[in-house]
Structure 1
Amino acid sequence: MDHAPQPVLGPDVSETDSSMPDQTLYDVAAVEDVKEGEVLSIILKERPIALVCVGGEVHAVGGRCPHKGAPLRGRLHCRSKVHGDVIVCPWHKALFGVRDGKVKEPVAFASLPVYPVRLVEGRVLVGVSATKPAPVTRRMEDQSVLVLGGGAAAASAIYTLREEGFGGSIILIGDESSLPYDRPSLSKGIFLGGPDKVQPPLLLNEGFFAHHEITRVQGTVASLDCETRRVRLEDGRDYSADHVLITTGGRPVRPDLPGIGLEGVMTLHDVRDARDISQNITGEQAVILIGGGLTTLELASALRQKGAGVTVIAPDQVIPMEAQWGREVGRVLLRLHTDNGVAFITDSSVVGIYGTDRVEGVELADGMKLPCTHVLVAVGNEPCRGFLPDDVGTEPESGTTGIVVDDSMQVLPGIHAAGDVATFRHEGTFYRIEHWRQAQIEGRAAARSILGLPRQPMPMPWYWTQQFGKKLEYMGWGESFDRVLIEGDLGGFDFMAVYMKDQKVVALVSAGRSSAMARAAVDFEGFVEKEVRTVII
């Protein structure tokens, strides 16, 4: 609930505290209303502000996440083993320090403003002007960093380097003309508004690059000499630096099928692909999607909302996402799609795409031919690492073609990797996780490693999907499970699913429980013990 503030003369209060800015403070709440573990939301002079109580002290920070504007209220004040007292964004799980407002974990690329607070006779007084953050101590001014790739991991690394005081030169080399942008929005229907409106939100704007003196270079990397840390581009230009960070991501796999090169066969990787889809696929056309993962399901949702006929061909996957999310949640997804007109073929596979100059249809292994106007292929991504020598960042036991890094995201001295291209080890298992928040977590970890800052534990991966207006969230390492417990209403998309292996909770999937998942993102084990085992198990 928002509280109407009452003004109190600034000098009457601030004269007794030299650290308090000389400004009018407003009586906004009773101290007893600001409860430990909860965030009290107020509006002060049209500014949303979040009040948090820690050990009897009240702190005031911005009341909306700077990433997408999520309101910060309710049970979002948590205690992190790594970061101390934090506020966590319920939408995309960014963590902010309660005392300094700083980003502790992505996905936000701006800190929360911090407002002056004074407690007087059981009341909370707050100033309307944010306090100036402490200046960052510049370091490593004689060093240089070369970032290869222009996605989420690159943006997170660049932001972290400057946020933590890196004073040397930074050059970003990417093959797209655009600044780093919000790639997940591409499959979630951004192309529904027409090709001229397909512009995903930027992660870092032009002003950030200019203010922080970051050089951008458009080009494709041809080779990297790891010993000299020299990068050569396909057009012959070359660059070198003290530190190289590889964040080149992945590219969609195009299966070796007859007709795969026909016009009308598409993949979705970047904004150019989204514009093609928006321009060329209309509501009167029939589209076949090859693949059964979340990208496929999100595209099916968006294309059906555009009016196109959609058939998903996913061999050996009778229930979508069953292997990852279990039969119960998979059935709900299946019903959501079939109720909205999506057809599924799971008992046969595509053996060819036919047509003369462009796509006319697909042929299945059982001989059936399905006419269509477009084919969208979403069967996975392969890491973009062709510019590296074959013996760099490889480890046969990893079971992946990604670039293998150590606990500090380092491949070799002076060479780091992060994001979809990187493979890391967690508790003895290799992971290459292709999700947006994870890429930013890894980019931040690599930047901290370059800066020589202490290593922080890798948080449990989290991702979300939006299909036909329903949002589902997953948290876990993708471990196998032998039991699924569900609390809530599956059909109404208001539930928490708990995945267990030998009595251990290994993952969560939820809908309509964003605040609970936010708390789990800060301290998974603590959340399981305090909230899951007492309510669900």
Structure 2
Amino acid sequence: MEIAPQAALGPDVNGTTTPALPDQTLYDVAAVDDVREGDILSITLKEQAIALVRVGDEIHAVGRRCPHKGASFRGKLSCRSPVHGDVIVCPWHKAVFGVQDGKVKEPIAFSSLPVYPVRQVEGRVLVGANPIIQKPAAKCGEDETVLVLGAGAAAASAIYTLREEGFAGRITMIGDEGFVPYERPALSKGVFLGGREKVQPSPLLSEEFYARHEVARMRGKVVALDCEAKQVRLDEGKTYHADHILITTGGRPVLPPLPGIGLEGVMSLHTVRDAWKIAEEITGDQAVILIGCGLTTLETASALRQKGAGVTIIAPDYPVPMERQWGREIGQVLRRLHEDNGVAFVTDASVVAIHGTERVTGVELDDGMTLTCTHVLVSIGNEPCRDFLPEQTKEEEEGGVQGIIVDDNMQVRPGIYAAGDVAAFRRNGTLCRVEHWRPAQCEGRAAARSILGLPRQPMPMPWYWTQQFGKKVEYLGWGESFDYILIEGDLGGFDFMAAYIKDQKVVALVSSGRSAAMARAAVDFERFVNEEVRTHII
């Protein structure tokens, strides 16, 4: 069935009148009863991939693929957010979109979904093949300026949010890498496997975006910030002033004070240039020692083994990887995965020195053993980049947590904001700093909304993922301690859901092979726990 433009758009079967729709033909694509609430129905119309979503008696049509990486929306990916209303959530990286307007409600996508006209006639769903042209946000802040210090995930998210919400003033971004913000997680997940020419992480925002939205980009290192004057000074002497300053300078790798730490062949993996160096220098016939045992270490070990290199992880404080964060059971599964793929672990000795004259030749352990190697990769954590702050702004660390302390509006002091790995905020009275990619973007979005004077929204529960030897594991939680873990599914087969219990309350989830379920949990954790976790796990 096809319905001609406008002429057939009178009252529907319920006697209500549909607002004027774009001048286009509508096509019969499905029965109304086939579109079930909470369950996306996927269709293709004139080569357009479209998702049909039901909300009560209404049916909406939006783009079926996430604009970030093209993940398909199908199945149980529509739900209701207590903050944003009816939404669709990406199963891969948890971007959240409004069902009615297609707009990004939570990162990590930086483009809205197209919205298509829909009609219900005699029990059938009719959809147009051309997206509705969305009205842009009203312009605001034409005479104001925003200066973004840093060029990472939080910076990109803040800039996108400012422009999407109508900010028309001048935006300047200063970064010291010389690149636009890019997808840093790809670095440890094996982007260097194909050689340097393949080490090209995707930009978060395109060059065309910066040009179209008139975002000025400068390269330089910030060495001083005058919070009162709202002015920054770069290492080359230039100064910049703005009405609003957003600090998104991130973190830098911590290097242990070991003899030989400055030798050639001793590396860390934090920037695309680090990945270039690894791609150029480390070949399949070399031996690499990794110091540390966090997710970055494990992901790098996985990538290096796939490249053919010999890999040994030295982690005396972590006999079971990720045990403190994820528990012994899952940690043991991760270690077994690595050992089955040829990674060796040393957990009963620590490195006391790195040997070599100009280049590294090996490491010495505190038990007297020396292990030969061609490269050492250090990954024992990051520290926030905040050296440019005035002393009175450098808060004492609390409970081992460093960072620039912000309030609920991501504000350090009037006109000065911070977001991403450099920022620390209080949650339930405890200071925390979340060093992950999606949370950094959520914080950048929150800071931009504060700059614009928009209502504060609750910070989404942090989510992150890891990819090791082709196995994906996802985490959702605030990193709280736990009393015990309840697990449903097959751990060894990487098809499970684990609930972390503290004082009889679920405080976190870890899963593998349950992307759609974790997507719903990321939108409304409490509801997911009450309706699904307590039914199937507890």
Q: TM-score normalised by the shorter chain: which range applies? A: over 0.9
Q: How does 1:153-168 map to 2 (within 5 A)?
A: 153-168=154-169
Does structure 2 conserve the Cα–Cα contact (< 8 Å) formed by 1:409 and 1:449? yes
Match of 1:535 in 2: 536
Give 5+ residue unaligned stretches, structure 2.
Answer: 12-17
Aligned length: 532
Match of 2:15 in 1: none
Q: Deviations over 1:27-71 (max 9, x none)?
A: 111001111111111111111101111110000000000011010
CA RMSD of aligned residues (A): 1.0
Distance in 2, matches of 1:524 and 1:94, equals 15
Distance in 1, matches of 2:411 and 2:439, equals 16
Aligned-pair distance for 1:12? 4.2
SS of 1:19 mapped into structure 2: coil
Q: Deviations over 1:418-447 (max 9, x none)?
A: 000000111111110100000000000000
Aligned-pair distance for 1:500? 0.5
SS of 1:236 mapped into structure 2: coil
Q: Deviations over 1:269-296 (max 9, x none)?
A: 1100000000000000000000010000
Match of 2:515 in 1: 514
Match of 2:305 in 1: 304
Q: Deviations over 1:323-355 (max 9, x none)?
A: 110111011101100000000000010001000
Match of 1:295 in 2: 296
Larger CA deviation: 393-402 vs 380-389: 393-402
Aligned-pair distance for 1:194? 0.7
Is 1:174 aligned with 2:175? yes
Does structure 2 conserve the Cα–Cα contact (< 8 Å) formed by 1:97 and 1:104? yes
Over 3 Å counting, the alpha-carbon distance change for 1:223 and 1:190 in structure 2 is same
Distance in 1, matches of 2:121 and 2:449, equals 41
Distance in 1, matches of 2:485 and 2:421, equals 29
Q: Deviations over 1:88-128 (max 9, x none)?
A: 11111111000000000000000000000011100000000
Q: How does 1:53-132 map to 2 (within 5 A)?
A: 53-132=54-133
Match of 1:52 in 2: 53
Aligned-pair distance for 1:400? 2.4
Distance in 1, matches of 2:374 and 2:136, equals 58
Match of 1:10 in 2: 5
Distance in 1, matches of 2:81 and 2:10, equals 35
Aligned-pair distance for 1:10? 3.0
Match of 2:450 in 1: 449
Does structure 2 conserve the Cα–Cα contact (< 8 Å) formed by 1:14 and 1:22? no
Aligned-pair distance for 1:177? 1.5
Match of 1:3 in 2: none
Give the TM-score, by structure 1 length. 0.98
Distance in 2, matches of 1:462 and 1:13, equals 46
Distance in 2, matches of 1:421 and 1:158, equals 17
Q: How does 1:320-359 map to 2 (within 5 A)?
A: 320-359=321-360
Letter of the structure 1 residue corresponding to residue 221 of structure 2: T
Match of 1:258 in 2: 259
Over 3 Å counting, the alpha-carbon distance change for 1:398 and 1:405 in structure 2 is farther
Letter of the structure 1 residue corresponding to residue 304 of structure 2: L
Q: Deviations over 1:393-434 (max 9, x none)?
A: 514535322000000000011000000000011111111010
Give the TM-score, by structure 2 length. 0.98
Aligned-pair distance for 1:13? 2.8
Distance in 1, matches of 2:3 and 2:143, equals 49
Does structure 2 conserve the Cα–Cα contact (< 8 Å) formed by 1:252 and 1:267? yes
Q: Deviations over 1:156-211 (max 9, x none)?
A: 00000001111110000001121110000000000001101100001001110011
Is 1:195 aligned with 2:196? yes
Does structure 2 conserve the Cα–Cα contact (< 8 Å) formed by 1:314 and 1:349? yes
Aligned-pair distance for 1:7? 3.7
Letter of the structure 1 residue corresponding to residue 220 of structure 2: G
SS of 1:227 mapped into structure 2: coil
Ranges of 4+ aligned residues in structure 1 off by more than 2 Å: 6-18, 395-401
Q: Deviations over 1:436-481 (max 9, x none)?
A: 0000000000000000011111111110000000000001111111
Does structure 2 conserve the Cα–Cα contact (< 8 Å) formed by 1:14 and 1:21? no
Distance in 2, matches of 1:332 and 1:18, equals 56
SS of 1:157 mapped into structure 2: helix
Does structure 2 conserve the Cα–Cα contact (< 8 Å) formed by 1:393 and 1:405? no
Identity of aligned residues (%): 72
Distance in 2, matches of 1:176 and 1:13, equals 57
Give 5+ residue unaligned stretches, structure 1.
Answer: 1-5
Does structure 2 conserve the Cα–Cα contact (< 8 Å) formed by 1:26 and 1:126? yes
Aligned-pair distance for 1:317? 1.1
Does structure 2 conserve the Cα–Cα contact (< 8 Å) formed by 1:315 and 1:345? yes
Q: How does 1:441-520 map to 2 (within 5 A)?
A: 441-520=442-521
Distance in 2, matches of 1:419 and 1:309, equals 34
Distance in 2, matches of 1:76 and 1:251, equals 36
